[in-house]
């Protein structure tokens, strides 16, 4: 079991109001799977992903990722965990605007302990090798997301977390990003967990966890991502 979460709970307190955001999450994902967390706004998707990615902590319960008990790590160990194991892709790409495509990737590979891939390899993997010297503003949204994916995989993460990776893209471009995610998954064996509120996107993944008000209400197994034409 690559991700093994049991009875994970998380509340936020503001003033005297306590909001229980995660109410005992159970989630198991095998190594090499592509999982999707699907749910309406406010259902706890980002909170769950932030805990798995080590940028937030659960209040109670168990979160094990690749044998590491994430909830029990001290702050330094949690930072190491994020750096060594986790790659992230965001909805709005988050590329550094005054760095070229190549430099955006080198910033990450230079501080990584085990950059198993070099800049040219990852750019080739996302079919962006000819844009290495361009700046993010010169690229379309889909192209920026490809670069952001290349940046996430250059450090060879065991787990790739994607928060609404296609949320700002049209349907065809979304399909091509999903096809690339599947390619990364197949080629490098990277386990992928992706947030979406789009049911059509979720239907393309091979595991779908439906979240409602802090609970997994359904765990669906699909055939996998449908390749874009």
User: By CB under 6 A, is residue 217 in contact with ligand ADP?
Assistant: no
Smaller CB separation from ligand ADP, 69 or 138: 138
- Tell me which residue has its CB nearest to ligand ADP: 140
Q: ∠199-23-8 over CA atoms, to 5°?
A: 95
- Within 10 Å of residue 149's Cβ, how many Cβ atoms? 25
Q: How far apart are CA 61 and CA 219, in angstroms?
A: 19
- In this structure, the strands spanning 159-163 and 191-196 are parallel
Residue 172 engages ligand ADP in binding (rule: CB under 6 A): no
Rounded to whole angstroms, how far apart are CA atoms 101 and 148? 9
24 makes contact with ligand ADP (CB under 6 A): no
Asked if residues 90 and 148 have their Cβ atoms less than 8 Å apart, the reply is yes
The C-alpha atoms of residue 137 and residue 93 are separated, in whole angstroms, by 11
Q: Which of 33, 45, 78, 184 binds ligand ADP (CB under 6 A)?
A: 45
Nearest partner of 7 among 62, 77, 52, judged by Cα: 62
- Return the range that interacts with ligand ADP (CB under 6 A); candidates 12-20, 28-36, 98-106, 117-125: 12-20
In angstroms, give the least distance from the CB of 216 to ligand ADP.
Answer: 12
Choices 13-21, 72-80, 97-105, 148-156 (CB under 6 A): range interacting with ligand ADP: 13-21
**Which of 6, 12, 114, 186 is the binder for ligand ADP (CB under 6 A)?**
12
Residues touching ligand ADP: how many (CB under 6 A)? Answer: 18
Binding residues (CB under 6 A) for ligand ADP: these are 12, 14, 19, 21, 39, 41-47, 138-140, 142-143, 173
């Amino acid at each position: 079991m690559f991700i093994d979460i049991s009875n994970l709970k998380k509340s936020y307190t503001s003033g005297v109001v306590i909001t229980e955001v995660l109410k005992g999450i159970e989630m198991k994902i095998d190594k090499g799977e592509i999982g999707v967390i699907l749910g309406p706004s406010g259902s706890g998707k980002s909170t769950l992903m932030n805990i798995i990615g080590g940028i937030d902590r659960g209040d109670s319960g168990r979160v094990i990722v690749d044998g590491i008990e994430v909830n029990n790590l001290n702050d330094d160990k949690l930072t190491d965990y994020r750096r060594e194991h986790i790659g992230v892709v965001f909805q709005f790409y988050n590329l550094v605007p005054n760095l070229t495509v190549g430099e955006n990737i080198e910033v990450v590979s230079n501080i990584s302990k085990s950059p198993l891939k070099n800049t040219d390899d990852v750019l080739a993997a996302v079919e962006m090798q000819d844009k290495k010297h361009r700046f993010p503003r010169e690229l379309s949204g889909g192209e920026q997301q490809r670069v952001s994916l290349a940046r996430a995989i250059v450090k060879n993460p065991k787990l790739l977390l994607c928060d609404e990776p296609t949320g700002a893209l049209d349907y065809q471009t979304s399909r091509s990003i999903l096809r690339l995610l599947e390619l990364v998954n197949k080629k490098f064996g990277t386990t992928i967990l992706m947030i979406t509120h789009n049911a059509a996107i979720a239907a393309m993944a091979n595991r779908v966890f439906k979240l409602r008000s802090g609970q997994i209400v359904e765990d669906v197994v699909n055939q996998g991502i449908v390749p874009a034409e």
